[in-house]
Structure 1
Amino acid sequence: MLRYNLTYITVPPTGMQQALAGIEQWLKSSPLKGVFLACWVAEIGELSRILLVHGYDVIADIPADREAILYSDNPLGIGSLIVSMETDAYTPLKGLPDILPGAAGPIFEVRTYKLKPGGLTPTLDAWTNAVGPRSAYSQLLSFMYAVGGEIPRIVHIWPYKSLDERLAIRAKTVAEKVWPPVGAPPHLASMRSEIFVPASFSPVN
């Protein structure tokens, strides 16, 4: 089972194309131990943001890679363009398949929920019961919970063919009482939804 590291980079509004070119070149020569899985660009939500996803078989490799970026004199190959950067490690829900390269989107909804204290275990239980029925309607790319930074916090990623497909599927699952997971909403403290689209070189696209 892979673990994941998610890195959010904010760049100047006029610097996106230059940033993507720099990241692509950096990834080609990057000594990181993690497997590069995705580079997505924010389309709806907080803009001028890039999301990088790396997968890890060895948990100890995550802090090693993060330190390599931290101590670099040109982080991600775009040091002069970075307005802000945040990175956190995540553990996926047991039983889910690993994120693998391939066509899945091109629309990726990334939902980040902060939970109330003590809310992680009942949320994991609720999702374990609900993921199977919900996945009959559309793919869940991953559900994961943060093991650093602000906790408890979960992230789930849903790929869609279009925004219209997203709206239709979400409406249908709610109407048919498949979603949200029974027992999960009382543990929510806040919710954020962002729409990303893949960069041309993103393995998951």
Structure 2
Amino acid sequence: MFYELATLSGPLLKLREMDAAAQDWMADAAAGTVLGRWRTDIGQLGQVLLLRQFDSLKYLSEERRRALLDRDPFRVRGLATSVAQESYEGFPFLAPAAPRQAGGIYEFRTYFLTVGGIPATLDWLGSGHRAGQGLYRPPRHQHVRIGWPRSDPPHLGV
């Protein structure tokens, strides 16, 4: 599976409007499943995070192209100050991520790996962690802690 994490940045008082506009835009997509939508209230404020899943790199690439060539991607022109999109490929030994209801607090973490660090990371992740590997950028993996804080929070792979 392939995943996209889109970050829409803008004024705090416009986040709800940006989220609604993005939902409408994503509903017109030929492919992709929305796994989750979040608004930040800790850390870097003024962001809407959108996580989508794609069955193939072809579908993810087509959707990325649609966003790049659209004069109003995610329908946030005039609302957002920036739009950033990151692509991930799920690790082959993990089940695909699935949408679910869980708690009200989520933690997004990105780990940038050292040169040659992917094999060791794959070994570590094979021990039960859920995450995904980044595409087209420095080696990294991303995971989302759901329902934090808990002693053993589940992970959603991206």
> Shorter chain as normaliser: what TM range?
0.7 to 0.9
1:75 aligns with 2:73: yes
**TM-score, normalization: structure 2?**
0.87
Indicate the SS of the match to 1:14.
helix
1:154 aligned residue: 141
Count of equivalent residues: 153
Q: Which runs of 4+ in 1 moved over 2 A?
A: 24-28
Structure 2 counterpart of 1:65, one-letter code: E
RMSD: 1.9
For normalisation by structure 1, the TM-score amounts to: 0.68
Task: Give the match for residue 8 of structure 1.
Answer: 7
Unmatched segments (≥5 aa) in structure 1: 132-141, 174-205
Q: Contact 1:93–1:128 (CA<8 Å) still a contact in 2?
A: no
Shift of 1:144: 0.7
Correspondence for 1:99: 97
The aligned residue for residue 144 of structure 1 is 132
Match of 2:24 in 1: 25
Tell me the distance in 1 between the aligned counterparts of 2:109 and 2:46.
17
Letter in 2 for 1:81: L
Cα distance, 1:155 vs structure 2? 0.3
Does structure 1 residue 54 correspond to structure 2 residue 39?
no
Amino acid at match of 1:21: A
- Code of the residue aligned with 1:6 in structure 2: it is L
Q: Which residue of 2 aligns with 1:169?
A: 151
Q: Distance in 2 between matches of 1:24 and 1:54?
A: 11
Aligned-pair CA distance for 1:21: 2.3
Distance 1:159 1:69 in 2: 28
Question: Cα deviations across residues 110-137 of structure 1 (Å, max 9, x unaligned)?
Answer: 1111111111111111121243xxxxxx
Deviation at 1:93, TM superposition (A): 2.3
SS in 1 for 2:86: strand
- What is the one-letter code of the residue matched to 1:157? V
SS in 2 for 1:31: coil
From the two aligned structures, give the one with the greater helix fraction: 1
- Cα offset for 1:84? 1.3
Structure 2 SS opposite 1:121: helix
Aligned to 1:201: none
Q: Distance in 2 between matches of 1:4 and 1:38?
A: 11
Q: Which of the pair has the greater relative contact order for Cα pairs under 8 Å at 6+ separation?
A: 1
How far apart are residue 20 of structure 1 and its match? 1.8
Aligned mates of 1:13, 1:124 — CA distance in 2: 38
> Corresponding residue for 2:156?
none
1:105 CA displacement:
2.9
Tell me if the contact between 1:7 and 1:51 (Cα under 8 Å) persists in the aligned partners. yes
